[in-house]
Amino acid sequence: MKSRLLPVLLLLLAGPPVTQPAPPTCYSRMLSLSREVTGDFQNLQAVEPSEPCVRYLPTLYLDIHNYCVLAKLRDFVASPQCWKVAQVDALKDKVRKLYTIMNSFCRRDLVFLSDDCNALEYPIPVTMVLPDGQR
């Protein structure tokens, strides 16, 4: 009897299995997908810069807190097809998915902090300003 209880006791003392602490929320899914789309777009621009259909794609610097992002996503999906580059179709699928999530499933979770459409055309470089007296 004791020999059967020992493995069970050790398993219980080992702790719960490693899992995510909580399921992803709508907001976290939108945020991670927007970062993924932006990274994929920048990678596509670096890998296929001379391909005409890649060159004429609308820019994708996404900020899910900017109201203009919905129009930006819609314009990107509506841009002409790029038959030669499979990565463009995959990127458009991700953009379509993000638009659907933002416009349908997670609409209540969105909080727009800005409506500056120009901010989505050119990314603002992130700089770190140190407090006075520090270098």
pTM of the model: 0.69
Q: Is residue 68 part of a domain?
A: yes
Residue 67, in any domain of the structure: yes
**Number of domain units in the chain:** 1
Q: Within a 13 Å sphere around the CA of 80, how many CA atoms are in the beta-carbon half?
A: 9
pLDDT tens digits for 97-132? Answer: 999 998 888 888 778 888 888 887 776 654 445 455
| Residue 90, CA distances (Å) to 42, 49, 110, 113, 132 in order | 14, 17, 25, 29, 47
Helical spans, DSSP H, in the chain: 2-13, 26-47, 52-55, 69-78, 86-100
The verdict on residue 2 lying in a domain is no
Q: What is the pLDDT of residues 27-46, one digit of tens each?
A: 889 899 999 999 999 898 88
Do the domain assignments include residue 134?
Answer: no
Quote the pLDDT of residue 100: 92
CA distance 26 to 134: 39
Name the pLDDT band for 17 (thresholds 50, 70, 90): low
Range of the domain at 29: 24-114
Confirm whether 65 is domain-assigned: yes
